[in-house]
């Protein structure tokens, strides 16, 4: 469910026609619905009612400051995977004690940033990282609060590039080694391991893999406690999927019930890291048709958005619903929706049944609020497109279009070229 609906034949974001925004800011642009973000957060938070739970939004899904501020006002914390994301979360008003720092390659500078900020915990993913955290904490005269990310070797049944919980993946410490790693960490004077973290993947559309992973975590907690290790915190990750192309997704309430049944009675403080579930269907990418081209075997609608604006179709073979901004009753025809970048992979849809389009028509690529703008680039020296937030009948540009001159201003010729 989202708040992008047709009103009098025009696709609106809440009560604002997308065509009106296009006239104001140009195309392409991202548009986010604040109402959808707020509703999706509450649906997930409500699924955890009765649990000692903190919802730490996965900033990597959408790091726009206005989006983060919206979530902060609802009580959300943040799951960050870089120093830059930590800076953004704090700038948006997310409390440090609701921020967890994940990721396999934290630098000393990032570890120091997290410790100085006083975040809730660092999710350590390897023994070398534990040593680095201890070294930095000792230099700062601090004790680092750490949760140990384990790899449960559970297949999330999702795309190979977003699976994170198999023993062949780079994430976490193999779960059977947790005993030894925690025992060895007792010699680290500036690290205190308080819990376990687990994250098995992204865009997971069936919940049984979560049950399997959480049972493995539960068993590990019981064994560690039997050995005298005080486990008081669990970070259960995120990964819940959204319907991109008419998929049937079970409700978050079912996920919450699995949490209760598996780890709900352990007496642990729980952290969750939803991202896509909160913002995925809260955003669209609006683009304008440049040309309609008839090829030898198919028709192409060439649009002004490209793979540098929305990478998911090229990177993951992702399928996003694409709809006209102005509704029509004309019979659909098959068309490939493609961008202008010089790559065959710059394709948003192939053989899509779409009402006939012509140059100048607007299209909306739906469910683009997660892993859209955050993964964009300036490939082909293209602009970074604006982001717009809508609330009711109001809209505001929350990131301006960043044009080529900005990037040229950061480049320079070496001295010898002027000799």
* 345 DSSP 8-state letter: T
Dihedral sign from CA coordinates of 229, 234, 235, 240:
positive
Is the bond preceding 64 in cis, omega lying within 30 degrees of 0? no
Q: What is d(CA 116, CA 130) in angstroms, rounded to the nearest whole number?
A: 17
Contact yes or no for 194/231 (Cβ under 8 A)? yes
Residue linked to tokens 């690290």 = 191
Separation of alpha carbons 146 and 126, rounded Å:
12
Compute the distance between CA of residue 189 and CA of residue 10 in angstroms, rounded to an integer: 62
Checking phi first, is residue 85 left (phi over 0); if not, alpha (psi -120 to 50) or beta? alpha
First to last CA, the chain: 62
For residue 268, indicate whether it is catalytic: no
Per 3-state DSSP, what percentage of the chain is helix, strand, and coil (rounded to 5)?
35, 25, 40
Residue 180 token pair: 């030894």
- With beta carbons less than 8 A apart as the criterion, state whether 391 and 35 touch: yes
How many Å apart are CA 224 and CA 147, to the nearest integer?
14
Among candidate residues 31, 56, 268, 342, the one labeled active-site is: 342
Place of tokens 């915190």: 233
Kindly give the pairing relationship between strand 121-124 and strand 144-151: parallel
For 55-92, what is the HEC assignment? EEEEHHHCCCHHHHHHHHHCCCEEEECCHHHHHHHHHC
Enumerate the active-site residues: 342
């Amino acid at each position: 469910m989202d708040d992008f609906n047709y009103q009098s034949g025009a696709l609106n974001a809440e009560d604002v026609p997308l065509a009106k925004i296009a006239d104001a800011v140009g195309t392409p642009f991202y548009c986010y619905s604040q109402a959808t973000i707020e509703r999706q957060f509450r649906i997930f938070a409500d699924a955890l009612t009765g649990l000692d739970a903190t919802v730490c939004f996965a900033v990597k899904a959408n790091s726009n400051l206005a989006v983060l501020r919206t979530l902060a006002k609802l009580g959300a914390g943040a799951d960050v995977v870089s120093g830059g994301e930590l800076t953004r979360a704090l700038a948006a008003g997310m409390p440090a004690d609701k921020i967890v720092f994940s990721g396999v390659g934290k630098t000393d500078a990032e570890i120091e940033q997290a410790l100085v900020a006083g975040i809730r915990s660092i999710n350590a993913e390897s023994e070398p990282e534990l040593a680095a955290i201890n070294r930095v904490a000792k230099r700062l005269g601090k004790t680092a609060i750490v949760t140990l990310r384990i790899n449960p070797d559970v297949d999330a049944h999702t795309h190979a590039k977003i699976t994170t919980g198999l023993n062949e993946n780079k994430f976490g410490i193999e779960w059977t080694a947790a005993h030894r790693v925690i025992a060895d960490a007792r010699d680290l004077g500036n690290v205190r391991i308080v819990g376990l973290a687990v994250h098995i993947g992204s865009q997971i559309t069936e919940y049984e893999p979560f049950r399997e992973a959480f049972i493995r975590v539960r068993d590990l907690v019981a064994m560690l406690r039997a050995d005298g290790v005080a486990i008081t915190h669990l970070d259960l990750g995120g990964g819940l999927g959204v319907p991109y192309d008419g998929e049937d997704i079970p409700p978050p309430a079912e996920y919450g019930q699995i949490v209760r049944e598996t780890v709900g009675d352990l007496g642990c403080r729980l952290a969750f890291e939803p991202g896509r579930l909160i913002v995925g269907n809260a955003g669209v990418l609006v683009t304008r048709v440049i040309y309609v081209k008839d090829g030898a075997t198919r028709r192409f609608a060439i649009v002004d958005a490209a793979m540098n604006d929305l990478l998911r179709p090229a990177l993951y073979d992702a399928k996003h619903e694409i709809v006209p901004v102005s509704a029509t009753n004309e019979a659909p025809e098959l068309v490939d929706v493609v961008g202008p970048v010089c790559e065959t992979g710059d394709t948003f849809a192939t053989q899509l049944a779409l009402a006939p389009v012509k140059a100048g028509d607007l299209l909306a690529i739906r469910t683009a609020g997660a892993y859209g703008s955050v993964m964009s680039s300036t490939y082909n020296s293209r602009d970074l497109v604006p982001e717009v937030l809508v609330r009711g009948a109001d809209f505001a540009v929350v990131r301006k279009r960043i044009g080529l001159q900005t990037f040229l201003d950061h480049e320079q010729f070496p001295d010898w070229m002027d000799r």
